[in-house]
A and B are shown apart, each in its own frame.
Chain A
Amino acid sequence: MTETLKVTLEKRAGLAVIYTEGYINNQGGEEIARVAYEQIDAGEKALVLNLQGTKIVNSIGISILIEIIEKMLEIDGTLSFCCLTPTIEKTFHIMGLSQYAKIFPDEASAITELTA
Chain B
Amino acid sequence: MTQPPVISSARPEFWSEFIELTQTLGSERLLVETLLKSLSQQVGALGAALYFDVGGILERQISVGGDLLPVRLDPSSGVGDPQVLRVPGGIVRFRMQTGGDPGLQPAAVATLATATRALLLSERIKRQRFEVNYRGVELEALFDVGLAIASTLNLEKLSEEVLLRAVSLLDARRGALYLIDGEEFTLRGTSGGSACERVAAGGPDVEALLRMETPVEQQVMPGAQYLLAIPIDTERGRQGLLVVADKESRQGVGPFGEGDRRTLGLFANQAAIAIQNAYLHREALEKQRLEREAELAADIQRQLLPAAVPFIDGYELAGWNRPARHVGGDYYNFIELPDQRLSFLVADVTGKGMPAALMVSTLHSALHLLMDRQPLDAELMQGLNNHIWGSSASNKFITLFLGVLDAASNKLRYVSAGHNPALLLRAGGDVQQLGAAGMPLGLFEESRYAFGTVELDPGDLLCTYSDGITECESPLQQEFGVEGLTDLLRSGADRPLPAVVRAIDDAVLEFAAGADQGDDQTLVLLRRQT
Q: Is B27 part of the contact surface with A, judged by Cβ < 8 Å?
A: yes
**Quick one: which of B144, B168, B194, B222 contacts A58, CB cutoff 8 A?**
B168
Given A55-B164, A60-B171, A74-B26, A25-B192 contact (CB < 8 Å):
yes
- B167 A2 Cβ-Cβ under 8 A: no
B192, A59: Cβ atoms closer than 8 Å: no
Q: Are B30 and A74 in contact (CB under 8 A)?
A: yes
Whether, in the assembled complex, A13 has its beta carbon less than 8 Å from a beta carbon of chain B, the answer is no
Whole-angstrom CA separation of A57 from B191 in the bound complex? 11
Shortest 10 CB-CB distances between A and B: which pairs? A2-B193, A58-B168, A26-B248, A58-B171, A76-B1, A94-B136, A95-B133, A56-B168, A56-B164, A1-B223
A63 to B129, CA, bound (A): 12
Closest B residue to A55 by CB, please name it.
Answer: B164
Complex contacts, B141 vs chain A, CB 8 Å = 87
Shortest Cβ distance from residue B64 to the other chain A in the assembled complex, whole angstroms: 14
Question: For residue B253, which residue of chain A has the nearest CB?
Answer: A26
User: Does B295 lie at the interface of the complex (its beta carbon under 8 Å from any beta carbon of A)?
Assistant: no
- Complex Cα gap A67–B130 (Å): 12
Question: Does A91 touch B at the CB level, under 8 Å?
Answer: yes
A interface, CB within 8 angstroms of B: 1-3, 23, 25-27, 55-60, 62-63, 66, 70, 73-76, 87, 90-91, 94-96
Note all chain A residues with C-beta closer than 8 A to B249. Answer: 26, 60
| Docked-complex contact B250 and A60, CB < 8 angstroms | yes
**B contact residues around A55 at 8 Å (CB):** 164
Q: Does B134 contact A (CB under 8 A)?
A: yes
**Which residues B358-407 have CB closer than 8 A to chain A?**
none
Which single residue of chain B is at the shortest CB-CB distance from A24? B168
Within the complex, the shortest CB–CB distance from A72 to chain B, in Å, comes to 11
Known A26-B249, A56-B167, A58-B169; contact A3-B192, beta-carbon cutoff 8 A = yes
For A23, give the chain B residue with the smallest CB separation.
Answer: B192
A91 to B136, CA, bound (A): 9
What is the bound-complex CA distance between A13 and B173, given in angstroms? 35
B156 smallest CB distance to A (angstroms): 14
Residue of B nearest to A57 (CB): B168
Smallest distance from the beta carbon of B263 to chain A beta carbons, Å? 12
> In the complex where A25-B248, A76-B1, A94-B136 touch, is A63 in contact with B222 (Cβ < 8 A)?
no
Q: A1-B222, A56-B168, A96-B133 are in contact. Are A23 and B248 (CB under 8 A)?
A: no
Known: A60-B248, A74-B30. 13 other contacts (CB 8 A): A1-B193, A1-B222, A1-B223, A2-B174, A2-B193, A3-B193, A25-B173, A25-B248, A57-B168, A59-B171, A60-B250, A62-B134, A90-B144
Chain A residues within an 8 Å CB radius of B223: 1-2
CB distance from B480 to the nearest CB of A (A): 65
**CA–CA, A95 and B140, complex, Å:** 12
Are B1 and A74 within 8 A (Cβ)?
A: yes
Asked whether, in the complex, the Cβ of B137 is within 8 Å of the Cβ of A95, the reply is: yes
A75/B192 contact (C-beta < 8 A), A26-B248, A58-B169, A95-B134 known? no
